[in-house]
Structure 1
Amino acid sequence: MFTGLIEHLGNVSSIYQDDTGCTLVISDSASILDDCHVGDSIAVNGACLTVTEFDAQKDGGWFKVWLANETLQRTDLGERTVGDQVNLERAMGAHVRFGGHFVQAHVDGTATLIERSDDGDSQRLTFELPEPTATLPSLLPYIIPKGYVTIDGASLTITGVDDAKRRFSIMLIQHTQEKITLSKKPIGAKVNIEVDMVGKYVEKSVVAALGGGGTEGLRSLIEKVVADVLVKKGIA
């Protein structure tokens, strides 16, 4: 489990890719490796990855992670190049103050940065979600104004939503701009999105309560309630 509060910016120093997946080496990461062990989880741009090897001393501290094809399909990590900065966060410790929101670092999909504007010292950013597919359904039902969204691993508050255009907006204060990579990404760049897991649990609970029928289940429930009311009033 993570908080969405980025601890450090690391640098991609090596990439090894084949048909089975991809290995990334992240350097300049000594500050988050002081308590590291092989097998630990580190969120890289919002994706929970397992440390397979590390050295806290050499090259400013580096660690190695493996990306399966599922991760490459769901995230933008397959598009990273040597020299790119990435957001890093260690798994949350039980003793620390909880400051962001509950983040699993299980990326749901990607979005595209389409607009950036200044608002005093802050930046307003707008993103567009892709057309939904059978394998990657729409994330819009889980994105609500003033709700949480995780973008490249950073816990951020949604400031606006346009369902018709599949777009949503966030704001970065100056402090956040300096701590994460998002403020430096160009228009057209992809970002990793994880929606608030609470919304997913609520949706599943409601669908289950409706008999698993989704929209049709809700329609059936409404029709039953209306029919019961009409019977009680002697209309039907």
Structure 2
Amino acid sequence: MFTGIVEAIGTIKEVKKVGDNDDLGIVISDASSVLGDCHLGDSIAVNGTCLTVTEFTDSEFKVGVSQETLRKTTIGELGVGDKVNLERAVSGDMRYGGHMVQGHVDTVASIVGREPDGDSIQFEFELRDREFINYIVPKGFICVDGTSLTVIDVNYEKARFKIMMVSYTQAKVIMPLKKIGDKVNVEVDVAGKLIERQIQVSLQNKDSAFGRILEELVERKVREVLQK
């Protein structure tokens, strides 16, 4: 689990294909600030993608990337010299400054708008997989390349959303380095997905307390319509 508060900006040092399925082995340098308490098998979010540390030194670490991760994220597009956001998994004594981030990227989005707004920058994104726009709401949480951000606007028809990045955050993450057309990893707030699933289960099981409430609400609305 992560908070979306980026701890460091690392640099891709090496990208190699491994195994028979074209999985990747990636080495990330400039990472000393997140490796002081590192152990083999620990999780580190790389651009919001939860990856497992398989090797490490004082300043760099290696991770393996599977085909599922390559399909869901932008990790496979990284090259030597690219900068990436890094965050360690949360510990028991860590303050929760962002929001609950799993490091399980839902989809990829393209930057379709970028404009200054005072000292801040307003970014607009368009989702590759349009269905995930249903989990994004104004003033809700969103995780973009591992950065916890607040949604300021949503266009459901175009599957687009906007965020505002303040000047302090600009200096701590890689987003300001990106341009129109670049892609980012997106993780929607898991709460929306959990609520949707519970509603689906309740609708299928009318004997549940929530199912009965929903059934009563539907019946009441039907009666109101028929009485008009």
Same fold flag (TM > 0.5): yes
Quote how far apart the aligned CAs of 1:131 are: 4.8
Quote how far apart the aligned CAs of 1:20 are: 3.6
**CA distance 1:131–1:7, shift in 2 (3 Å):** closer
The code of the aligned residue for 2:69 comes to T
Q: Sequence identity of aligned pairs in percent?
A: 45
For residues 109 and 98 of structure 1, the distance between their equivalents in structure 2, rounded to whole angstroms, comes to 24
Is residue 2:122 matched to residue 1:124? yes
For residues 163 and 81 of structure 1, the distance between their equivalents in structure 2, rounded to whole angstroms, comes to 33
Runs of 5+ consecutive residues of structure 2 not aligned to the other structure:
none
Alignment of structure 1 residues 68-217 onto 2, 5 Å: 68-132=66-130, 138-211=131-204
**CA distance 1:65–1:131, shift in 2 (3 Å):** closer
Quote how far apart the aligned CAs of 1:31 are: 1.0
**CA distance 1:223–1:102, shift in 2 (3 Å):** closer
For residues 199 and 85 of structure 1, the distance between their equivalents in structure 2, rounded to whole angstroms, comes to 31
Task: Look up the match of 1:135.
Answer: none
For residues 168 and 228 of structure 1, the distance between their equivalents in structure 2, rounded to whole angstroms, comes to 35
**CA distance 1:222–1:91, shift in 2 (3 Å):** same
For residues 212 and 83 of structure 1, the distance between their equivalents in structure 2, rounded to whole angstroms, comes to 53
Task: Look up the match of 1:225.
Answer: 219
Task: Look up the match of 2:27.
Answer: 25
For residues 48 and 37 of structure 1, the distance between their equivalents in structure 2, rounded to whole angstroms, comes to 15
For residues 222 and 45 of structure 1, the distance between their equivalents in structure 2, rounded to whole angstroms, comes to 45
For residues 173 and 222 of structure 2, the distance between their equivalents in structure 1, rounded to whole angstroms, comes to 55
- Give the alignment's Cα RMSD to 1 decimal: 2.2
For residues 69 and 183 of structure 1, the distance between their equivalents in structure 2, rounded to whole angstroms, comes to 28
Quote how far apart the aligned CAs of 1:212 are: 7.3
For residues 155 and 55 of structure 1, the distance between their equivalents in structure 2, rounded to whole angstroms, comes to 28
The code of the aligned residue for 1:201 comes to L
Is residue 2:2 matched to residue 1:2? yes
For residues 168 and 205 of structure 2, the distance between their equivalents in structure 1, rounded to whole angstroms, comes to 44
Quote how far apart the aligned CAs of 1:228 are: 7.8
For residues 53 and 166 of structure 1, the distance between their equivalents in structure 2, rounded to whole angstroms, comes to 39
Quote how far apart the aligned CAs of 1:184 are: 1.1
- Contact 2:107/2:129 (8 A) holds in 1: no
**CA distance 1:64–1:164, shift in 2 (3 Å):** same
Quote how far apart the aligned CAs of 1:226 are: 4.7
**CA distance 1:212–1:73, shift in 2 (3 Å):** farther
**CA distance 1:193–1:131, shift in 2 (3 Å):** closer
The code of the aligned residue for 1:2 comes to F
**CA distance 1:20–1:102, shift in 2 (3 Å):** same
The code of the aligned residue for 2:9 comes to L
SS in 2 for 1:179: coil
Quote how far apart the aligned CAs of 1:227 are: 8.7
For residues 22 and 124 of structure 2, the distance between their equivalents in structure 1, rounded to whole angstroms, comes to 34
TM-score (norm 2): 0.90
**CA distance 1:222–1:31, shift in 2 (3 Å):** same
Quote how far apart the aligned CAs of 1:207 are: 1.1
For residues 206 and 197 of structure 1, the distance between their equivalents in structure 2, rounded to whole angstroms, comes to 15
